[in-house]
Amino acid sequence: MFLRELDAPISRIRGAGPAASRALAETGISSVGELLCRYPRDWEDRSRRIPLKNFNQGPVCTVVKVLAHDWFGAGRMKTLKIHVEDESARAVLVCFNRPFLEKQLIPGERYRLWGRFSYKYGELQAALFEVEPVQGPTEGRGEENKKIGRILPVYPLGGDLKQGTLRRLIRRALDQYVPSLEDELPAEIILRDGLLSKGEALRAIHFPASMAELELARKTLIYEELFYLEMMAGKRALERRMGPERAVDHSRAGEFSPLQRRLLERLPFSLTPGQTGAAAEINQDMAGPYPMARLLQGDVGSGKTLVSFLAVLRAVESGGQAAIMAPTELLARQHAENAARLLEPIGVRPAFLTGNVKAAGRSRLLAALTGGEIDLAVGTHALFSKDVVYRNLRLVVVDEQHRFGVTQRQAIMAKGHTSGISPGTPDLLMMSATPIPRTLALTVFGDLDVSVIRDLPPGRKPVKTHLAKESNEAKVYDFVGRELAAGRQAYFVYPLIEANEGDLKDAVSMADRLTREIFPQYPAALIHSRVDDEEKRYIMESFRRGDIKILAATSVVEVGVDVPNANCMVIEHAERFGLSALHQLRGRVGRGTDQAYCFLIYSDRQDSAGGVLTGEGKTRLKVMLENNDGFVIAEEDLKLRGPGQIAGIEQSGYLSLGIADPVRDAAELARARTDAFAVLEKDPGLLEPEHRRIAAVLEKAPPFPAVGL
């Protein structure tokens, strides 16, 4: 049996009563398998002897002889003192609230002792200590519960659960079930890397005989987890390639198609090397025999939209339809406008579809999509509402992909499967300006191909970033004032729409101050998530045209908005924003050829809770000050926050790893990936006898969220 199949209820464990079952259920454990996967959060090494005289090297762990009892204080405050000695020194156990120890610790007898000692009143004393009888080697029953002289697991608790209960139940479960557990890793790998068997590893992760054994158990379980993670990613990638093959179009794979060339000729600039490279990879995929599943990563402003348009042209040219999906109405509209400007003149018929398109217009539009009179649908998730039917959806582009959940991405992909004249999996292009560090990309997007645009269009100057204390904000306003006077535009960003206390600046009241007090001569507007979509659109258009000079906002301006003439970004209470948000916000400026500036204003008021610059806030601002490269910033973010917190990873439940950490265990991850992919390369169906085990484990594996599709 595999551990993941071990679904016997807790009550099957000898000695587990209903109270224990209930307490475990409260912390989410209902089966023996789940119990054994509740790994310790720490291990206390009580295996090494530390005699009394070495009390300052850590907790003492020794065997003592009881010398005498003694009492101090009087009445109810009377406290027992027990004098003990080992071969190195004498000491005193101060038994606050433990008068019963008088009967348990008998003078002349020997006991195991663990405790934290210090010198007080001229004696070596401990009030925090544990004792247990020294037992002979034959007394096995007591051995299993002994807490001194071994490495003790420390479990994460919750509810009514007690350390003692968990230790006892896990030990019994190990005894009862480990003998029937099968290895999940292939035997060659266990042998090659000198890993433990599954049973040994489980036993040792809970009750290691030595720190070296613990290390080996961890190594085994981490590797096993990563191996199957990569195995699943590899299988998904394979499955994509196992559908019916498409006709391969070798002649055109390597070059731009006629429609693509027409678009490129009309542009006032040429593609950057990064864009050219990504477009070539996409062309290869789209001409290839299997559906594309590609992640296009590029920093804000690197020109991903244009690359996706090139992909759209290829789909349209081959008689298909394309859909571009964006997370917000604002961004979808911007793409639709760009499509109308760049693609319509060369014969592509675009349409714009969001939840806001009204009934009559909507049904006309849907009919046109079904009839194939529309080549490109641009919109929000409305693109895959139930009533939307495509005639022949060949390409799906998902912009700012991390803003969508797995199910949303699946829903739009299904449109290609279920409808149209030639159902099949559409090509998928996901785009992200949240650079995903390589280590993480391998885990999270293990089944996707990745293109990266590393360069920015020529002429872009790196944004100059300045830190300013809130008390120096007037200087920042002066600076921005001079840029405004020179005809530029500015963003002012706040962490809150409206503050409930007076302490924090918020978008609403600052919009007011900006217009009345600070820059009365310039038209300003306010935008945040509660402004309705029509008004948002109107404001953004006015800002883009330059009718509005100042935009006061919350982080809604974070995503994809493109206004080249805006060259100042002022972020107030910058210490309250995450690194990825700060980077995205800063990316709103520096999209034209003028020098752009980003001011990070932090609160230096000592009196307000959270207003003081804390350690992590300070580190974030420093990272922003020193780095422009989104990939470097993402790596720093990862170090500061851990993978679960990286934008787009936690919401979608991508990573539910038990013991491995793809960042810390990056080397193991790479090895596991190589191993898993080598197996699949040799034996894609896992049919060889030596791969039966892997196939069997995968069959039992809990469904892992499909990321790409």
Residue number of the CB atom closest to Mg ion: 560
Give the Cα separation of 633 and 645 in Å (integer): 14
Containing H/E element for 193? helix 187-193
Exposure letters 386-398 (e unless 16+ CB within 10 A, then b): eebebbbbbbbbb
What distance, in Å, lies between the first and last C-alpha atoms of the chain?
A: 31
| CB closer to Mg ion out of 84 and 326 | 326
Residue 224 Cβ vs ligand ADP, minimum distance, rounded to whole Å: 39
Residue 555: which residues within 8 A CB-CB, separation 6 or more?
493, 495, 577, 581, 584, 585
Q: Could you tell me what percentage of the chain is helix, strand and coil, using 3-state DSSP and rounding each to the nearest 5?
A: 45, 15, 40
| CB closer to ligand ADP out of 171 and 460 | 460
Residue 398 Cβ vs ligand ADP, minimum distance, rounded to whole Å: 13
| CB closer to Mg ion out of 302 and 554 | 302
DSSP 560: S
Residue 269 Cβ vs ligand ADP, minimum distance, rounded to whole Å: 4
How many of the other CB atoms lie within 10 Å of CB of 258? 11
| CB closer to Mg ion out of 60 and 343 | 343
Residue 268 Cβ vs ligand ADP, minimum distance, rounded to whole Å: 8
Residue number of the CB atom closest to ligand ADP: 303
| CB closer to ligand ADP out of 234 and 303 | 303
CA distances from 254 to 4, 37, 249 (A): 46, 50, 10
Residues that bind ligand ADP (CB under 6 A): 269, 271-272, 275, 298, 300-306, 433, 457, 560, 562, 591
The bridge status of strand 550-553 relative to strand 524-527 is parallel
Residue 397 Cβ vs ligand ADP, minimum distance, rounded to whole Å: 11
Tokens for 355, please give them. 């939840």
Residue 329 Cβ vs Mg ion, minimum distance, rounded to whole Å: 15
| CB closer to ligand ADP out of 302 and 443 | 302
| CB closer to ligand ADP out of 303 and 416 | 303
Q: Are 185 and 72 in contact (CB under 8 A)?
A: no
| CB closer to ligand ADP out of 292 and 306 | 306
301 binds, among Mg ion, ligand ADP, none (CB under 5 to 8 A by kind): ligand ADP
CA 320 to chain CA centroid, Å, is 35
CA distances from 400 to 156, 326, 431, 433 (A): 36, 7, 6, 7
CA 61 to chain CA centroid, Å, is 41
Tokens for 438, please give them. 């390589």
Residues that bind Mg ion (CB under 5 A): 560
| CB closer to ligand ADP out of 228 and 543 | 543
The bridge status of strand 393-398 relative to strand 79-85 is unpaired
